[in-house]
Amino acid sequence: MRAIDWALLSTFLPLATALLLVLVSPLRRTGLGAGLVSVVSAVATFVGAVMVLASRFGAEAGVVHRTIQWLPHSALGGVAHGRGAIELGVHVDGISATMLVVVTFVALCVQVFSIGYMAEEPKADFGRYFTWQSLFLFAMNSLVIAPNLLQLFLGWELVGLVSYLLIGYWWKKPSAARAALKAFWITKFADMGLLAGLIVLFLATGTFDWTVTTAAAGTVTLLLFVAVMGKSAQFPLHIWLPDAMEGPTPVSALLHAATMVAAGVFLVVRAFPLFEQAPNTLTVMAYVGSFTALFAAVVAVVQTDIKKVLAYSTCSQLGYMVCALGAGSQAAGFFHLTTHAFFKALLFLAAGSLIHGVHSNELSHMGGLLKKMKVTSGAFIIGSLALAGVPGLAGFFSKDLILEEVLHRGLWAPLGALLVAAFLTAFYMGRVMWVALLGEPSEHAKHAHESGPSMLAPLIGLSVLAIGVGYFGGTLSGLYGEPVHFHLSAIGIVATVLGLSGLGISYWMFGAPQGGKAILEAFAPVGRLARSGAVNGFFAWSYRSVMTRVAAAIGWFDRYVIDGLINGIAYGTLEAGSRLRVIQTGRVQDYVYVVVAAMLLIGLYGAFWGR
Amino acid sequence: MPTADDLRPLAVDLALLGATLMLFAVDLGLPHGRKRWLGVLSSALLAGLFVLTFFVDTEGSAFGGSYVGGAWPLLFKRIALAAGALAALGSVDHVDRHFPTRQGEFYLLMMFSLMGMTLLPGARDLLLFVVAFEMMGIPLAMMASYAKTEDLKGVHRHAAEAGLKLYLISAVSTAITLFGLSYVYGLTGSTRLDVIAQAPLSPLLGVGMMLTVAGMSFKVGAVPFHMWVPDTYQGAPTPFVAFLSVAPKASGFAAMTAMLLVAFKNNREQVLSVVLLMSLASITIGNLLALPQKDVKRLLAYSGIAQVGYMLIGLVAGGSYGVGMLLFFVSGYVATNMGAFLVLEAIAPQRTGITLDDVKGLSRRSPWLAAALLLFLLSLAGIPFVVGFWGKLMVFMAAYQAGYGWLVLFGALMAIVSLWYYLQVARAAYMGDAPTEEVVPVKVTPTLATAIAVCLTLVLGMGAYPRPFIEQASAAARSFLGEAP
């Protein structure tokens, strides 16, 4: 089989699985049976994706671009230039091959994990869940292999639709149903930017290809970026992401860490030839991305729900990617997408395992889990360290690459924001680690027990990648452009120092009293200094009165102002609807008055222009 | 004297007349208790006629140019016939249950109304226009009030109101249209559209043209002539509403395009500015007023008003592309909206008013109906893979190309508002608790199920492979405007 066949297999096998589960309801209702079918199909899908990626290193490594015409030029009103047809098909190159592997691997891990995590669900719901998982994989893969932006848009919309179903999986919880609607509505609002961008692009160039050169690139890319802001949760359209944590945790790992939210960044990576023609859009992206990175990191500091911390962290990391792309580096942005997908999915799944253990999302309900849940805690620590940018782990390489690119472009303000965000990231992840894993065990945590093998296996698999994938940056970027070569730069050292100090400070604030005495003694001199009253007091004071307050204030601003503003618009629209109802009186004489009045006005207008 | 050639463009209409007479004869002969077969028969006849349209040659013009055939009217005839066949099939059980002694009349009225609809797209003479319009409209008012209060005590009390409102507003609109037409005739001395097109512009002609077009927009239910729509939809029998919400709209648009692009083609810019305003008002009012609705039929009524606003965008864009995509949009809308109303009929066949509470828990009562309803709603909202998406996309592309980028933006933003209320219904179906503890499965009669299945197939099929439909529509539009195919 050739690359194109494997790509098609990876796309349509999940669709076939979903259809099978939809149509054969006895199979769906067995629950576990449906899950196993879905997992087997996900394995085959992953194998297909790996074969696609392998083909990039083989003899037929060239770009494969195969399309069929869906709507001919003539059906589109004879747009002036170009071929102007709507085509669907497959595009295999380094970018789509890499993304395909990322998506299918994370999806596979999440599905295996879900078998254990969702085991207590009613059987029919369990089957329904796996049906949607398979459908999601189809939607996402059809987006990834899209040969043009129109197909990408179709996949994009389908992804949004399935995510609505998955977030609202626990529809009996009103908050889940609301969150699902909100996520759908806001991303849908942003999607209109993509649709508008496509229309402008098509009418300007007669094609939906991302390779065209056009004077309209500025408008098109700005419109596309609106969609990116919605899907990839960039300020101020990020507000749906924390709410979406109402869905099952594996769903958050799949959608809100690795795949769906990354689709926005993927769109920019994919359409980078267009974005390169629009330097102004790139600048906007650099600023929006870096601001989101900083803003979300600050808010993450004060969250008490482990999933909310991870959600804001995802916003923040997506900000990094957007900023990197805005700095003009396709490779840095896409590489960070790759590494982030693995370690953030790992974090979400490990968090899910912790939640499974203590039956609560609250950090205060955890504590001391390291002893009870060794494998999960180990995985969570690996993920956290990778996210914090500890040298040697995946996040370190990609973050360093981004910072270097931003520095190289001389974007000073974004660079500063990213560096502060790097410090905060390490700090809040450190906080979660110390509180949840070490800390004083709470009532809930006392009865915690390690999760079953189906939940641990994916954690181990993802851990390996969260450690290892960073070393393949050069190989992967070589697939679609100049391979980037990693070298430790000055800015990288600064970021590393910031990250390590973030971890250290958080340890000193949240971890020191309970565990880790040995570490403390190893750094005895530092420890002595740290325990000395003045320094202690200074840090305690600065944390309590400055940092938490600032973070809480920004968190409040996010919750009530940004969120409130968007809710306000929605509420205002609904209110306008209610107010307008009075014009529909139900009295037929009023209707006749309206008709006659309108006719009079229209008639007068006609007389006026007929003069 | 009419010759045989004159009759060729009328082939479908004459066949429809024959079918109507046949139905009438069968009704006389059929004993009571067997009357439900009339619905099946009329549906079969209409479906047969629909198939016939693919085999007849209707090119040419009749009666000295007063009536024309060709691809454009033929496509509208097809839409009307398909809508009629589906609506008759969906009505069989409702009519049999609620009006067992008045079944024949119901289908005959529907056939008469359909005859008006098939005549309208080919009419190129003012008199023929008015006659066809009334032929289409008066039976509709009668059918709207068909559920008289005596049938089920107290339950159908909206029926008379539904019919009366439709009739009164219809009468006012027709009066105003006729008033406008009298000016047009007086100033041009002709009732033929192509002659009217040559007349020089004057204030009185302006009044006449405006009033004509405005009066016609009543049938499609555009703002400000929309107020009958929710009240009538709420009170009339649901399968009839399925028919009313689609078929007269298609023919109304046929009439409006003929008026705008044939009779007023030299002065269309000013008329279009009024159409543009109506489009904006329809999209705004329809979408906003749908938001607070708790009655699903009223909600779909307002959604229909908004959809008309989107169709008017195609008219505003103009050109063969604009009207062609309008036609495509309408054909997708027919299948979608008809399907949505038929699902409502399946959920609550006993009542005319259906609230969100009635829809709650549908996914457990009948997964297939819930899935069908979801797809129809997604199509109305314009989500990809169902026909509504292509319709909106094409109309938007036409408008953008014609220089109405801001209108596209406005329409797209309001489409997001529409998502809210469509999802309210979907949410009730999938995520709401059923009103009762036990899950009562919905029993769908075979005829109704067939009609819904056909609608669903069309919505999915046209969504997955829209090409032939778009090509047909553009070809028809080009032939209508006399452009090279």
What are the pLDDT digits (tens) for A512-526? 554 444 444 444 454
Q: What would the two tokens of residue A205 be? A: 């160039």
DSSP classification of residue B123:
B
Best residue in A156, A163, A195, A593 to probe B by mutation, most B CBs within 10 Å?
Answer: A195
Give me the residue from B164, B176, B397 closest to A588, CB to CB.
Answer: B164
- Residue B132 CA to residue B134 CA, distance in Å, equals 5
Q: Are A349 and A459 in contact (CB under 8 A)?
A: yes
Cβ of B400 within 8 Å of Cβ of A75? The answer is no
Query: Residue A563: what pLDDT?
Result: 67
Give the model confidence (pLDDT) of A552-596 as tens digits: 676 666 666 666 666 677 677 777 767 777 666 667 777 777 777
Tokens 């060709």 label which residue? B70
Question: Which regions of chain B are under pLDDT 70?
Answer: 1-4, 148-158, 350-353, 432-439, 484-485
Taking the Cβ of residue B165 and every Cβ of chain A, the question of whether any pair is shorter than 8 Å is answered with yes
The number of residues making up chain A comes to 611
How many Cβ atoms from other residues are within 10 Å of residue B150's Cβ?
7
Say if residue A294's pLDDT is above 50: yes
Return the pLDDT at A523.
45
Rounded to whole angstroms, the Cα distance separating A52 from A31 reads: 31
CA distance B331 to B250: 8
Among B311, B286, B283, CA closest to B300: B286
**What is the distance in angstroms between the Cα of A87 and the nearest Cα belonging to chain B?**
11
Q: Which residue has the tokens 């959608």?
A: A255
Residue with tokens 């300020």: A235
- pLDDT for B329: 92
Question: In 3D, which of A289, A506, A302 has the Cα closest to residue A385?
Answer: A506
Q: Which residues of B touch A84 (CB under 8 A)?
A: none
Contact assignment for B225 to A605 by CB distance below 8 Å? no
Q: How far is B3 from chain A (nearest CA, A)?
A: 37
Residues in contact with A345: Cβ distance below 8 Å, sequence separation at least 6, in sequence order: A106, A109, A110, A253, A254, A257, A258, A462
CA-CA distances (angstroms) from residue B96 to B102, B297, B349? 9, 22, 12
Hey, what are B307's tokens? 């959809």
Dig out the tokens for B96 from the structure.
């049999």
**Residue A121 DSSP one-character state:** S
Among residues B140, B115, B98, which one has the least CA distance to residue B23? Answer: B115
> 401-430 in B: which are within 8 Å (CB) of A?
401, 405, 408-409, 412-413, 415-417, 419-420, 423, 427, 430
Higher-pLDDT residue of A505 and B415 is B415
pLDDT greater than 80 at residue A487: no
Whether B173 sits inside 8 A of A158 (CB atoms) is no
Q: Do A154 and B384 touch (CB under 8 A)?
A: yes
User: Which residues on neighbouring strands pair with residue A586, listed in sequence order?
Assistant: none
Closest residue in B to A203 (Cα) is B401
- Token representation of residue A409: 């472009």
pLDDT at A518: 46
The pair of structure tokens assigned to B192 is 């033929």
Tokens of B124: 């190129």
pLDDT in tens, A28-48: 778 778 888 888 888 889 888
Please give the residue of chain A at the shortest CA–CA distance from B319.
Answer: A77
Q: Which of A203, A591, A599 sits opposite B397 (nearest CB)?
A: A203
Q: Do A591 and B165 count as a contact with CB atoms less than 8 A apart? A: yes
SS3 content of chain B, % helix, strand, coil (to 5): 75, 0, 20
User: Residue A530 has what pLDDT?
Assistant: 45
The set of residues, in sequence order, having a beta carbon less than 8 Å from that of B203 and lying 6+ positions away, is A606, A607, A608, A610, A611
> For the segment A55-94, what is each residue's pLDDT rounded down to a tens digit?
888 777 777 888 777 777 666 665 545 556 778 888 888 8
CA distance linking residue B19 with residue B392, whole number of Å: 36
The B residues from 209 to 238 touching A (CB cutoff 8 Å) are: 209-211, 214-215, 218, 224-225, 227-228, 230-231
- pLDDT at position B438: 65
DSSP letter (8 states) at residue A207:
-
Q: What are phi and psi of B336, to 5 degrees?
A: -65, -55
Nearest residue in B to A579, CA atom: B289
ipTM for the predicted complex: 0.73
Per the structure block, which two tokens stand in for A588?
Answer: 């037929």
Q: What is the pLDDT of residue A278?
A: 86
Where is B61: in which H helix or E strand? strand B61-62
| DSSP designation for B360 | T
The Cα–Cα gap between B63 and B81 comes to 24
Q: Do A79 and B401 touch (CB under 8 A)?
A: yes
pLDDT for residue A150 is more than 70: yes
Q: How far is A240 from chain B (nearest CA, A)?
A: 15
Q: What is the pLDDT of residue A169?
A: 74
Instruction: Find chain A residues with C-beta within 8 A of B206's C-beta.
Output: 606-611
pLDDT at A544: 61
Of B172, B384, B471, the CB nearest to A592: B172
- B463, A70 Cβ separation under 8 angstroms: no
What's the pLDDT at A129? 83
State mean pLDDT over A253-261: 82
